[in-house]
């Protein structure tokens, strides 16, 4: 019981991270925009979108590609901010994918884009479906490319390097690629990464550097020291998925969302 109380206290303290990053009014307004889903906004205390986007140097007038945005948690922040003031490209699942989850998620995303034209009427949707479709944007056209918690998904089909290569091709020289990913302990085996959803920081850096990127900075904005990464159902044990029996729910809610690396790369 004492351990549980300590965990709750640490988790509460951790989720009140101070806004140390230089957050511009543009980013603050993007995070506070009226189009965001209420349930999505509740996760800001774990995902720190304002601090993360400040670290990734998000700004108006940019061409930004989000890789595999799923149902659009970050899209709700990025796309309205760039509507009429830049270009937002969603490199999404294929609508003809053999995976039913990919097809239905892409459909849900498209419905969201058409359902709120004031926010999303200028969104461009491309397809990233390995190995056939890798042109997420025109070569050397993007100022920023962001991917949030996706590297482990690509590892399941051994396509992670191909995705990093595609991102490198689409990014302008001097452009920034930002990666947020569930963080495994150093020296974690690839097999455990695929099974658990946690990926080692060194492995993500090696993928990026092999593609040609240069690591320019890393941040602990999305770190969670309470997460020991040793859960029975991997990262999906934790919220928001909570793939556990109800008797363990409070324990994993107290931990919060996963420990995450936040890495910034530049294309030379």
* Strand intervals (E) in 93-239: 124-127, 142-148, 171-184, 199-200, 214-219
| Domains contained in the chain, CATH given | 2-266 (3.40.50.150)
Task: Give the DSSP per-residue string, 62-106.
Answer: -EEEEE--TTTTTHHHHHHHHTTSSEEEEEE--TT-SSHHHHHHH
Q: Note the pLDDT tens digit of each residue in 157-166.
A: 999 999 999 9
Q: Note the pLDDT tens digit of each residue in 114-173.
A: 999 999 999 999 999 998 899 999 999 999 999 999 999 999 999 999 999 999 999 999
Q: Measured in whole angstroms, how far is the alpha carbon of residue 7 from the centre of its chain?
A: 25
Q: How far apart are CA 170 and CA 87, in angstroms?
A: 14
Q: Note the pLDDT tens digit of each residue in 1-23.
A: 434 333 443 443 333 333 445 89
Tokens 């944007």: give the residue: 137
Query: 142-148 and 63-67 as β-strands: parallel, antiparallel, unpaired?
Result: parallel
Q: Are 52 and 180 in contact (CB under 8 A)?
A: yes
């Amino acid at each position: 019981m004492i351990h549980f109380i300590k965990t709750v206290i640490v988790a509460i303290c951790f989720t009140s991270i101070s806004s140390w990053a230089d957050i511009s009014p543009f980013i603050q307004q993007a995070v506070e925009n009226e189009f965001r889903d209420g349930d999505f906004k509740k996760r800001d205390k774990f995902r720190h979108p304002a601090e993360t986007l400040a670290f990734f140097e998000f700004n108006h007038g940019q061409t930004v590609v989000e890789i595999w945005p799923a149902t659009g948690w970050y899209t709700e922040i990025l796309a309205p901010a760039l509507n009429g003031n830049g270009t937002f490209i969603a490199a999404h699942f294929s609508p003809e994918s053999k995976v039913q989850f990919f097809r239905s998620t892409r459909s849900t995303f498209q419905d969201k884009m058409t359902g709120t034209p004031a926010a999303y009427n200028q969104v461009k949707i491309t397809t990233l479906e390995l190995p056939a479709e890798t042109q997420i944007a025109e070569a050397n056209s993007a100022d920023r490319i962001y991917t949030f918690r996706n590297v482990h998904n690509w590892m399941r089909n051994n396509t992670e390097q191909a995705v990093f290569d595609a991102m490198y091709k689409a990014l302008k020289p001097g452009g920034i690629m930002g990666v947020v990913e569930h963080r495994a302990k150093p020296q974690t085996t690839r097999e455990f990464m695929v099974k658990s959803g946690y990926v080692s920081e060194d492995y993500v850096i090696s993928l990026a550097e092999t593609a040609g990127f240069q690591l320019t900075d890393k941040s602990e904005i999305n770190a969670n020291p309470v997460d020991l990464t040793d859960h029975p159902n991997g990262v999906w044990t934790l919220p928001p998925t909570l793939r556990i029996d109800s008797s363990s729910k409070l324990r994993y809610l107290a931990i919060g969302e996963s420990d995450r690396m936040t890495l910034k790369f530049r294309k030379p």
